């Protein structure tokens, strides 16, 4: 189960800082954990004697549960930090909270926060390894990795593919991690959404911008359908959900006009009937639940690699 490329990072803060070889190495490492993901009885001891804390300051279903399960499957002790019942409400700072938890003998901190850069701040103050589980609209590196793994698994490669990220690009950390990972591995990336949800500066990352989904559909091997992040929007960015669905909703009729064998991904949670219809989400082109299973393998790989780098 060794990584194919030497891994020296204690932290996984984003895909921006990684080389293509490091990303491929993590994907290969995740592949090697897939059999244990599909066998709930499989108990491993890779991280026996290590402890991992889930420090989630924002809601989560998939990421939180799969990081906890990944650590347990590897034999680590897991602490789920509940912000609600903590001394954060008494004014303790974020860094003090993390340092106090670290003082209990924690080896890895998995952190999600609405503020971009929070994992980077923690990495400066802790000896423990830090994994970014989503920082504001900045990055969500394990989601990027699990999307890459799912594409590679379903289509056999990433290099040379055209991948469209559809929807709310402006508020999406998933979009940014996907862009970094896909471009490093040689894919062509198109970001597609209403002009209000596609920041013009995104071009500087090396992506193409489109506003007409129907025009680009025949070119795309993969559609990664992003959630409209209503909770991050300060005001309306389009007239209404019906108009959005009319122009950008992924429907069975739209898929019929797409490239044959097009793969549909969605990081979840899904707004059924807004970004995509239930028949697409649950249909043969969709890999939505495979993404979740692959997320467990990716998080096992990331925890294993970073803990071993911590020593
Ligand atoms: N995709 C994702 O990050 O989902 P959660 O917010 O449920 O963790």
> Is the model's pLDDT at 84 over the cut of 70?
yes
Pocket-testing residue among 131, 134, 140, ligand 1, by greatest number of atoms within 8 A of Cβ: 134
Report pLDDT for 229: 79
Q: Are residues 151 and 271 in the same domain?
A: yes
The domain total for the chain is 2
Q: What percent of the chain has pLDDT over 90?
A: 84
Residues 46 and 145 in one domain: no
Q: Are residues 50 and 81 in the same domain?
A: yes
The whole-model pTM stands at 0.95
Q: Do 36 and 113 share a domain, yes or no?
A: yes
Q: Choose the residue to mutate in 172, 177, 178, 267 for probing ligand 1, maximizing ligand atoms within 8 Å of C-beta.
A: 267
pLDDT band at 4 (very low <50, low <70, confident <90, very high): low
Q: Indicate whether 56 and 147 sit together in one domain.
A: no
pLDDT at 1: 58
- Convert the pLDDT of each residue in 185-220 to its tens digit: 999 999 999 999 999 999 999 999 999 999 999 999
Domain for residue 8, yes or no?
Answer: no
Q: What angle do CA 88, 92, 93 make, to 5 degrees?
A: 100
The rounded Å distance from CA 65 to ligand 1 centre is: 9
For residues 219 and 129, membership in a common domain is answered with no
CB atoms within 10 A of CB 246: 10
123 and 47 in one domain?
yes
In this structure, is residue 6 part of a structural domain? no
Cβ atoms of residues 152 and 26 within 8 Å = no
CATH of residue 110 = 3.40.50.1370
Residue 64 Cα to ligand 1 middle (Å): 8
User: Which uninterrupted H or E stretch holds 182?
Assistant: helix 173-184
Distance CA 116, CA 24 (A): 26
Q: Does 173 lie in the same domain as 112?
A: no
Tens of pLDDT, residues 248-302: 999 999 999 999 999 999 998 999 999 999 999 999 999 999 999 999 999 999 9
- What is the Å distance from ligand 1's center to 39 Cα? 23
Report residues whose beta carbon is within 6 angstroms of any ligand 1 atom.
60-64, 134, 140, 143, 267-269
Tokens representing 148 are 């890459």
Together in a domain, 45 and 130 = yes
3-state secondary structure of 254: helix
- For residue range 224-247, list pLDDT tens digits in order: 999 987 777 777 777 788 999 999
Sign of the Cα torsion 234, 173, 110, 67 reads positive
Q: In this structure, what DSSP letter does residue 18 have? A: -
Instruction: Please indicate, yes or no, whether residues 47 and 159 belong to a single structural domain of this protein.
Output: no
User: Do 255 and 178 reside in the same domain of the chain?
Assistant: yes
Which domain does 25 fall in, by range? 20-139+295-310
Q: Say if 198 falls within a structural domain.
A: yes
127 and 157, same domain (yes or no): no
Tokens, residue 85: 């019942």
């Amino acid at each position: 189960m060794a990584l194919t490329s030497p891994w020296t990072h204690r932290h996984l803060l984003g895909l921006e800082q990684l080389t293509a070889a490091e990303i491929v190495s993590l994907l290969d490492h995740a592949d090697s954990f897939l059999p244990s993901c599909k066998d709930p009885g499989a108990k491993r001891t890779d991280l026996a004697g290590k402890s991992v804390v889930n420090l989630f300051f924002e809601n989560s279903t998939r990421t939180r549960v799969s990081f906890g399960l990944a650590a347990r499957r590897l034999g680590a002790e897991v602490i789920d930090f509940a912000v609600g019942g903590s001394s954060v409400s008494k004014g303790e700072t974020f860094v003090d909270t993390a340092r106090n938890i670290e003082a209990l003998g924690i080896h890895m901190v998995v952190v999600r926060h609405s503020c971009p850069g929070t994992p980077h701040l923690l990495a400066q103050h802790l000896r423990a390894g830090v994994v970014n589980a989503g920082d504001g609209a900045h990055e969500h590196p394990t989601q990027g990795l699990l999307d890459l793994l799912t594409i590679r698994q379903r289509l056999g490669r990433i290099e040379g593919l055209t991948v469209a990220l559809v929807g709310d690009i402006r508020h999406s950390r998933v979009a940014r991690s996907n862009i970094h990972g896909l471009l490093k591995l040689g894919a062509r990336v198109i970001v597609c959404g209403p002009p209000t949800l596609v920041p013009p500066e995104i071009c500087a990352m090396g992506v193409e911008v489109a506003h007409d989904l129907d025009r680009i559909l025949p070119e795309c091997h993969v559609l990664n359908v992003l959630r409209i992040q209503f909770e991050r929007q300060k005001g309306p960015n389009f007239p209404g959900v019906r108009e959005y669905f009319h122009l950008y909703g992924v429907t069975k009729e739209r898929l019929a006009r797409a490239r044959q064998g097009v793969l549909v991904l969605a990081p979840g949670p899904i707004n059924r009937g807004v970004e995509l219809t239930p028949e697409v989400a649950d249909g043969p082109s969709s890999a939505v639940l495979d993404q979740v299973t692959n997320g467990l393998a990716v998080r096992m790989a990331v925890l294993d690699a970073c803990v071993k780098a911590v020593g």
